Amino acid sequence: MQRPLRGLMVGVGYFAPIQLAAWRAVSGAEIRGLVGHRDRARVGAVARDAGVGWAGIDLAAAIDAVRPDFLDICTPPATHGDLIRYAVTRGLPVLCQKPLAATVAEAAELAELAHRHGVPLVVNENWRWQPWYRETKKLIDAGVVGQPFHTTMRMRPGDGWGEHPYPDQPYFADMPRLVLFETGVHYIDTTRFLFGEIDKVQCTTATVNPAVAGEDLVVAVLHTSRGGIVVYDADRSAVARTVRSLAYGTMSVEGTEATLEVADDGTMTVLRRDGQVLRHAYRMPDGWKGGCAIAAQQNFVDALRGGAEAETPATDYVRTMQVVEACYQSAALGRAVRIRADRAAGVPEPAGERLP
Ligand SMILES: NC(=O)c1ccc[n+]([C@@H]2O[C@H](COP(=O)([O-])OP(=O)(O)OC[C@H]3O[C@@H](n4cnc5c(N)ncnc54)[C@H](O)[C@@H]3O)[C@@H](O)[C@H]2O)c1
């Protein structure tokens, strides 16, 4: 039997304990060390709670002590680049939280660097692993919906109002780019997973809560190369039925044969053209948001072990970030923006191209 892969994780903020809990349910790997930034007490406490043996604030010392097989990065996007360069140039595979980098150009540079060094660099994009999206994909592939032509993803977490919004992630309030960059990137990746490539966007943004710097309202119309339209309708300041509900909002996939509805608790219903309304029952795995963090991290480990293909390699994820950038451009220009096709090397062009 192969020994479990040794992981070293960086970052001990809001998401780290969720990610560490997920690692405990992943087979074939374990986190052996945890690296923080300045706050030794916090690193020690998070490591203790998660049963991680090594804790500290010096990455080089952690690598010497743990001799990891991979680095797991869970720090703010602006810090991803330096950490990835450090690991990749030492031949250390990386799983890195979304968004991959602060800009599309940097994401493309990092993807290319990893590619050149032959080192796996995978984005920890867990949203597409939420079970209601996996079920949606199965139902589409089985032909239940027919040709999906119009999807609405209505994101309503209800956590962005008041003078102190986003209690779990208060740093959101100061981000100059908020919903599209931080959360919309999940929905764009999930759109690509469900419906294929996005090649044109038309987007409007607004800031509703005066206490936040960036946009907290986004309506983006995403055109897929298969001819479908996906409307990402996101509003973080609006009142929500359930604050930060399991599915963060609702989704409807309208197809030629049926409409598929996902409620904010993950419940799925199929409305067929013949009038039948069927509840689609499925297993909800344990863990954060239907086990999606476990599934994403498991996919990375399986890929490292050669038993699967990584679903969100950096080379492909650049395209997701490029669509995010195109949405910002569209909102600024007040018109549609087309996204250029991939370059031969597999790393897409970093900039969107305006429509005439
Ligand atoms: N997948 C999801 O659903 C999900 C949810 C929340 C956050 N995230 C992502 O996870 C990442 C972290 O988010 P968060 O909410 O935990 O942020 P956070 O600000 O709460 O925590 C960031 C942590 O990184 C540490 N840090 C900063 N710079 C560092 C450096 N150079 N070296 C080592 N440690 C450093 C900070 O001290 C802190 O412990 C972000 O990329 C975010 O987008 C993903």
CA dist list (Å): 46 to 13, 41, 79, 290, 311: 9, 9, 20, 23, 29
> Rounded to whole angstroms, how far apart are CA atoms 226 and 237?
33
- Closest to 258 (Cα-Cα) out of 242, 268, 270, 244: 270
In the block, tokens 């929905």 appear at: 187
> Rounded to whole angstroms, how far apart are CA atoms 139 and 133?
10
Q: Does residue 35's CB lie within 6 angstroms of at least one atom of ligand 1?
A: yes
Q: Does residue 101's CB lie within 6 angstroms of at least one atom of ligand 1?
A: no
DSSP 79-132: HHHHHHHHHHTTT--EEEESSSSSSHHHHHHHHHHHHHHT--EEEE--GGGSHH
What ligand 1 atom has the least distance to the C-alpha of 126?
Answer: 1
3-state secondary structure of 193: helix
pLDDT at 356: 35
Q: Does residue 78's CB lie within 6 angstroms of at least one atom of ligand 1?
A: no
* Cβ atoms < 10 Å from Cβ of 60: 10
pLDDT at 347: 42
What ligand 1 atom has the least distance to the C-alpha of 97?
Answer: 41
Pocket test for ligand 1, best of 18, 46, 49, 74 (most atoms within 8 A of CB): 74
By CB atoms closer than 10 A (0-12, 13-18, 19+), residue 23 is: buried
Q: What is the 14 CA–ligand 1 centroid distance (Å)?
A: 7
What ligand 1 atom has the least distance to the C-alpha of 38?
Answer: 37
Element (H, E) at 78: helix 77-88
- Closest to 316 (Cα-Cα) out of 23, 48, 108, 90: 108
- Closest to 219 (Cα-Cα) out of 156, 266, 289: 156
Pocket test for ligand 1, best of 86, 97, 178, 180 (most atoms within 8 A of CB): 97
Q: Euclidean distance between the first and final Cα of the chain, in Å?
A: 59
Q: Does residue 81's CB lie within 6 angstroms of at least one atom of ligand 1?
A: no
Query: Do residues 133 and 190 lie in contact, with contact meaning Cβ atoms separated by under 8 Å?
Result: yes
- Listed in sequence order, the residues at least 6 apart from 343 whose beta carbon sits closer than 8 Å to its beta carbon are 349
- What average pLDDT values come out for the chain (356 residues) when binned by 10 residues? 93 98 98 95 97 97 98 98 98 98 97 98 98 98 98 98 97 98 98 98 98 98 97 98 97 98 98 98 98 98 97 98 98 96 45 43
Query: Do residues 336 and 330 lie in contact, with contact meaning Cβ atoms separated by under 8 Å?
Result: yes
Which tokens sit at 348? 């897409």
> Are β-strands 268-272 and 258-262 bridged in parallel, bridged antiparallel, or unpaired?
antiparallel
- What single-letter amino acid sits at 35? V
Which tokens sit at 208? 């509703």
3-state secondary structure of 151: strand
Pocket test for ligand 1, best of 12, 15, 63, 159 (most atoms within 8 A of CB): 15
Please report the domains of the chain, with CATH numbers, ordered by start residue.
5-126+292-313 (3.40.50.720), 128-281 (3.30.360.10)
Which tokens sit at 309? 């293909």
- Closest to 100 (Cα-Cα) out of 353, 354, 352, 348: 348
Q: Does residue 22's CB lie within 6 angstroms of at least one atom of ligand 1?
A: no
Query: Do residues 62 and 35 lie in contact, with contact meaning Cβ atoms separated by under 8 Å?
Result: yes
> Rounded to whole angstroms, how far apart are CA atoms 81 and 54?
24
Query: Do residues 284 and 292 lie in contact, with contact meaning Cβ atoms separated by under 8 Å?
Result: no
Q: What is the 295 CA–ligand 1 centroid distance (Å)?
A: 20
pLDDT at 1: 66
pLDDT at 340: 81
Q: Does residue 187's CB lie within 6 angstroms of at least one atom of ligand 1?
A: no
